[in-house]
Structure 1
Amino acid sequence: MPFRYGAWHGGPDPLEAPYDIRRALDEMGDDVLAGMSPRSALSRLMRQGTTGSNGLEALRQRARRRAKELRNSGRLNGTLDQVRELLDKALEAERAALFPDPDDLARMAEAELDNLPEDTARAVRDLADYQWRSPEAAQAYQEISELLRSEVLDAQFAGMRQALSNPDPQAMQAIREMMHDLNEMLDADARGEHTQEQFADFMDKHGEFFPENPENLAELVDSLARRAAAAERLMNSLSAEQRAELGELMEQALAQSGLAGEMSRLQQSLRAARPDLRWTGRERMNGDQPMGYADGTSALSELADLDELADLALQDYPGASLGDIDEELVQRALGQGAVTDLEQLKRIEQELRRQGYLDQGGEGLQLSPKALRRLGSTALRRVFAQLESGGRGDHDVRDAGAAGEITGASRAWQFGDEQPLDVVRTVRNAVLRGEGRSGARVRFQPEDFEVVETERRSSAAVALLVDMSYSMELRGSWGEAKTTALALHALVTMKYPQDAIEIIGFADYARTMSPRDLVDHDWQAVQGTNLQHALMLARRHLDRHRDAEPVILVITDGEPTAHLAPDGFSEFSWPPSDETIAATLAEVERCTRRGATINVFMLDDEPRLVNFMHEVGQRNGGRVFLPKTGALGEYVVSDYLSARGGRRRGGSRRAG
């Protein structure tokens, strides 16, 4: 069956990457070319997001807005208010029942009620053995114990309030057994003896108390410990008097239910299992509506999730990674929509790695060589977009040469040719001449031979000297200088591979730099513009390529302020010392005698800089440029294309 191939019209391309990684990479590239480090650019991409998806900053803002809503939703002493209301209700009903009774016992009971402590907890405790005459009062007092018990248990075990809505002795016994078995399982885990089978048996027996249905003990402990830590912070957030009252009331309720010991044991186990949680600290709730102990605990647990999520989304700690952000945490705090945004960001990072644009370096993620090549191509496209069409070409020299580039054509061999033979055409010529009869050997004549026609281009050795003194960063010139250096490096390596380029960065000292060094450069406030040392390294590069046209290009925003002393150390002086000026000009003379043209691109028009560079131009015969902002790449690339053809022009040029 014949097959036909064409454009896919059946909907989304099934072979297409799930995200436009090239667009994401170009967005990173824009930031890198503007002076940002790759890690900072990737971090910014993750913070801002891409088209159609939110970034971490939107995630963080949502978390902060939700936290603000929670803090304004209520106040944490609601359980105390409820207890006081129930106590007042009980006392009012009891006094109403005692008032019409003329008996002295009624008067004594009234006196006992009148002498109750102002402290709510102590009043509730003193009434523990009181014989209520009013059934309504007795019911209200009983509700205090039930309220406190349910609040405490619901604060620790989410959803327990419903299980305690109609408590009976059997229900309380089931809770006591559950807490005992839970503590036994936690103790076994602390000893390293816990098994998944033990957890499965526990859930089969007590699963009704855990509607979230955890899959293992770690998930259960995480949920319980977060709520326990939130309850601890709630107590810390109350005033000393409120904390004492509520604590005593809860102890009384748990003691009456026979749960005090197991609850204390559970709190200790949870704290030992998750010491990393925030067990201390205070929370400020600014709302007017009172919140019960359980509701307050849930609110503070959610606040802890939101605060943790906001911190993780900021990604401002060493070794930060999207993998640090737990999707379950995002789900709890902000819902499935936020989880989808996070998953998309993670896929973008994974796709950048899968397609070879990111590598894992010693200090985290970094751009791969593939990404650096694309970055250089992007920089080059920017530069060529600014160049005027026409008048600038490759300046090729059409000539025979074994080291040339193949044009695809061939010609008859001539005496003295050194080009490689075109074997196919040579044999074809001999066969057509009749020397290829069946069974006979093919014999060649001189006129049969053809050679591959090649195109030889003049080679150049280029040293690009880039000022990396701190003033370049302060003046905002570094992004343009980096873009220019990457563009020139890309042009040479891709279009003129016979040329040799070396990038030399200079501040207090000079050093050779790769494109990765340029991209990863992190600024330090060092003093000095050591052009002398940079020219020395440039001469060494030119000496390694003596047959090439020597070209030195200098990008700087300041006059020399440092040079190498006889001991090899850099000496800094501002204003520039006579020694620094003399040492730098001496190096200019050496480059001139070497035959190298030094063309300077000034990024500032400070008079001292202009005067010094004009002196360099006069001594060397090179040119001095003052390109306008944004045109540096155009000037440098254009100058390289001219210089590599071997044409040198003296003088200076100023572009405002």
Structure 2
Amino acid sequence: MSPPRPERPRRTGRPGRPGHRSRYGRYAGGPDPLAPPVDLGEALDAIGEDVMAGYSPERAMREFLRRGGQDQAGLDELARRVAAKRREMLDRHDLDGTMREVRELLDRAVLEERKQLARDLDDEARFAEMQIGSLPPSTAAAVAELSDYSWRSPSAREDYERIKDLLGRELLDQRFAGMKQALEGATDEDRERVDAMLGDLNELLEAHARGEDTTELFDEFMDQHGDFFPERPANVEELLDSLAQRAAAAQRMRNSMTQEQRDELDALAQQAFGGPGLQQALSRLDQNLQSLRPGEDWGGSERFDGEQGLGLGDGTGVLQDLADLDELAEQLSQAYPGARLDDVDLDTLSRQLGPEAAVSARTLAELEQALRESGYLDRGTDGQLRLSPKAMRQLGKALLKDVATRMSGRQGARDLRQAGAAGERSGASRPWEFGDTEPWDIPRTVTNAVLRQAGGPETVAGGPAPTSGRVRLSVEDVEVQETEARTQAAVALLVDTSFSMAMDGRWVPMKRTALALHTLIRSRFRGDALQLIGFGREARVMEIEQLTALDARWEKGTNLHHGLLLANRHFRRHPSAQPVLLIVTDGEPTSHLGPGGDVMFAYPPHPHTIALSVRELEGSARLGAQTTFFRLGEDPGLARFIEHLARRVDGRVVAPELDDLGAAVVGSYLGSRGPGGPGGPPGAEPGGWFGRGFWVG
């Protein structure tokens, strides 16, 4: 029986439509066109966190893709599943399947022959019994010795012929997947066709190796023998690729066997149908493939420790699967130069781990592409990736929302609220939500209603849209005016950038706090002037992008004196604004600026360093600054020192947990410039969190 061509799927159609037939099934043409777009919010939050911890944006993006998200498997999880499947295959299988099957057929043939000989009473039967009883223990040697034996039992003869048939099909199945099943019950004519195919194939490959133009020869070969190759290669190179991969896997399977197993197999191969000629043709094929595809893994081996026997063809398939898994592991590692997630073979991943794994890998690739193309990452003048202003705004918004949630102790977009009469209009508006008391923005509200009705018929307030010239309002049309307090503030946020902040895990919370406050002021309190000042061995004014990307450096010194000098300069530049001084630190001042601008360092803190810091702090108080210290850590000496400083300037001290640092700083800012600050209601605590409402949405 000839190897059958693969059947084409039958088309089905609806009754009564003879001219039109449709076929329905799972969409398999690429990414799901109905799938929602990838959500960059979680990825951006994680990347921002790592960047603030000192990672480069490129590395931070890679780390997120490795970890994955809350509901998204990452590269590490996919690689773990690849490794687990590889271990499971090796732990389940061994390579004795064909040998066991041959032994079973041989034992059954010998048993049936013994039964027949026991019934026969002639002398020749006794001699045959002696011959059967003296078979060597080696399976291959026993099969070879029985090659000239005259079987008396028809069933025994049939089982013995099955051994030769099985060996031939297994040897072919090693090189041509599916041949074992296709040649079951094959006739002599089918075997002759196989011999002819092998001869023509070797001639084609040898001509190709000589550099000859084999286009016509390949076409003739496929016309005559194409049913042996259901994958339908388009040219000699594609044919070579598929054959070499399979042959290399067969060689690795052979390398994985013991020497005894290889010797048995070689001896048995001589008994396969076609005799030694089949083995010679296959050896010639292997030599041609090795010379044309030397880059394949011809020398590898595996250690199988299981008990489920594999036949030669199935074992070769398992070795191919193992090679696929190894290639997937390398692709998922992304450890080679120029690695991209587009390199991951989704078809192989789906075949080995299932379609869900391929969907996860495709989503990660889409995330990577979206992050690169969305404008969240851009390249600076030095060519390095960095977080763009757009990304900083998005991160700040997320951090501010988290801060507001912590301050309010409840979920929701609106966390603190004030009436519109408590401030002046900022010129901005936002959609109305339940509980708003701000005045309506009438032009925006009416414009929204007109645009909605002009877009087409829809339901308005429970009924159809009017067709007359009247404009009807709906709740979603309403916008309210944002208001700002009449008093502007000049805010100086001083953050300790000494190495102890990074060493004790305070580096990222400090940066998150600065970004949250920066976002709040830039988006809701645009009239306020914020200056970010980092003070380590020396102090400097920093943009938010510089601060969030700042790497921790081993520097001795906490120069509060220099930081306060810069803060007071900022306050003097805004004489009509309310000064607000916020200081985040975990250590006492240990350095100061000398008369010539040189940094002077001393530990333990020198009295002169302390005196200069106190003098500048009192200068801030004379400028009217409301001062709040945010003390990090549990050092009793630091606590006493900061309490003393706060009392000298009528300031306050907050000792927040790291997770609450952002809420503490933002709350202090809101209270310092609102009703709880100077001029606030009697009994209001300075720096309270109730002072100024803001919107996070």
TM-score, length basis structure 2: 0.65
- How far apart, CA to CA, are the structure 1 residues paired with 2:595 and 2:301? 61
- How far apart, CA to CA, are the structure 2 residues paired with 1:300 and 1:58? 23
Matched with 1:76 is: 95
Q: Note the C-alpha offset of 1:28.
A: 4.0
- How far apart, CA to CA, are the structure 2 residues paired with 1:127 and 1:567? 105
Letter of the 2:604 counterpart: S
Query: What pairs up with 1:363-512 in 2 under 5 angstroms?
Result: 367-385=387-405, 386=407, 389=416, 458=488, 460=490, 462-467=492-497, 469=499, 472=502, 474-475=504-505, 477-496=506-525, 501-505=530-534
Matched with 2:573 is: 547
Matched with 2:163 is: 144
- How far apart, CA to CA, are the structure 1 residues paired with 2:594 and 2:133? 95
SS in 1 for 2:653: strand
Matched with 2:196 is: 174
Q: Note the C-alpha offset of 1:489.
A: 1.8
SS in 1 for 2:254: helix
- How far apart, CA to CA, are the structure 2 residues paired with 1:45 and 1:394? 48
Q: Note the C-alpha offset of 1:50.
A: 6.8
Would you say 1:256 and 2:285 are equivalent positions?
no
Contact 1:120/1:245, CA 8 A, preserved across alignment: yes
Q: Note the C-alpha offset of 1:272.
A: 1.4
SS in 2 for 1:246: helix
Matched with 2:358 is: 339
Would you say 1:282 and 2:311 are equivalent positions?
no
Change (3 A) 1:105 1:632: closer
- How far apart, CA to CA, are the structure 1 residues paired with 2:224 and 2:384? 47
- How far apart, CA to CA, are the structure 1 residues paired with 2:502 and 2:195? 75
Change (3 A) 1:566 1:583: same
Change (3 A) 1:18 1:97: closer
Change (3 A) 1:139 1:106: same
CA displacement 1:304-342 (0-9 Å, x = unmatched): 434554665566788664323211212321344543444
- How far apart, CA to CA, are the structure 1 residues paired with 2:548 and 2:271? 66
Unaligned runs of 5+ in 1: 1-15, 399-404, 409-453
Change (3 A) 1:245 1:364: farther
Query: For 1:19, which of 26, 36, 60 is the aligned residue?
Result: 36
Matched with 1:158 is: 177
Change (3 A) 1:149 1:521: farther
Change (3 A) 1:457 1:653: closer
SS in 2 for 1:272: coil
- How far apart, CA to CA, are the structure 2 residues paired with 1:150 and 1:640? 82
Contact 1:164/1:171, CA 8 A, preserved across alignment: no
SS in 1 for 2:365: helix
Unaligned runs of 5+ in 2: 1-32, 409-414, 430-483, 690-697
Contact 2:332/2:344, CA 8 A, preserved across alignment: yes
Change (3 A) 1:639 1:159: same
Change (3 A) 1:96 1:639: closer
Matched with 2:45 is: 29
Matched with 1:530 is: 557
Query: For 1:235, which of 254, 257, 263 is the aligned residue?
Result: 254
- How far apart, CA to CA, are the structure 2 residues paired with 1:635 and 1:66? 49
- How far apart, CA to CA, are the structure 1 residues paired with 2:142 and 2:291? 32
CA displacement 1:106-140 (0-9 Å, x = unmatched): 85x77776665543344545666x45455756654
- How far apart, CA to CA, are the structure 2 residues paired with 1:297 and 1:242? 15
> Between Structure 1 and Structure 2, how many residues are aligned?
571
SS in 2 for 1:286: coil
Q: Note the C-alpha offset of 1:610.
A: 0.9
Matched with 1:633 is: 662
Contact 1:626/1:653, CA 8 A, preserved across alignment: no
- How far apart, CA to CA, are the structure 2 residues paired with 1:374 and 1:268? 56
CA displacement 1:339-377 (0-9 Å, x = unmatched): 344434433443444443345799997643312211112
Contact 1:181/1:202, CA 8 A, preserved across alignment: no
Contact 2:377/2:388, CA 8 A, preserved across alignment: yes
CA displacement 1:142-168 (0-9 Å, x = unmatched): 443432232122122211224433153
SS in 2 for 1:555: strand
TM-score, length basis structure 1: 0.68
Q: Note the C-alpha offset of 1:88.
A: 3.7
Query: What pairs up with 1:192-211 in 2 under 5 angstroms?
Result: 203-211=222-230
Contact 2:199/2:281, CA 8 A, preserved across alignment: no
Letter of the 2:490 counterpart: A
Query: For 2:641, which of 612, 620, 631 is the aligned residue?
Result: 612
Would you say 1:322 and 2:351 are equivalent positions?
no
Would you say 1:577 and 2:586 are equivalent positions?
no
Contact 1:46/1:345, CA 8 A, preserved across alignment: no
Letter of the 2:352 counterpart: A
Query: For 1:296, which of 312, 315, 318 is the aligned residue?
Result: 315
Q: Which has the higher mean CA deviation after the structures are superposed, 168-177 or 555-564?
A: 555-564
SS in 2 for 1:274: coil
- How far apart, CA to CA, are the structure 2 residues paired with 1:566 and 1:221? 80
Matched with 1:600 is: 629
Change (3 A) 1:365 1:291: farther
Q: Note the C-alpha offset of 1:261.
A: 3.4
SS in 2 for 1:631: helix
Identical amino acids, percent of aligned pairs: 35
Letter of the 1:19 counterpart: P
CA displacement 1:512-552 (0-9 Å, x = unmatched): 65544555567x6x6556321x7536745765885136765
- How far apart, CA to CA, are the structure 2 residues paired with 1:29 and 1:170? 67
Contact 1:49/1:345, CA 8 A, preserved across alignment: no
Question: What is the aligned-residue RMSD (CA, Å)?
Answer: 5.3
Change (3 A) 1:295 1:260: closer
Contact 2:492/2:582, CA 8 A, preserved across alignment: yes
Contact 2:487/2:673, CA 8 A, preserved across alignment: no
Q: Which has the higher mean CA deviation after the structures are superposed, 58-67 or 75-84?
A: 58-67
- How far apart, CA to CA, are the structure 2 residues paired with 1:571 and 1:240? 76
Matched with 1:445 is: none
- How far apart, CA to CA, are the structure 1 residues paired with 2:238 and 2:660? 59
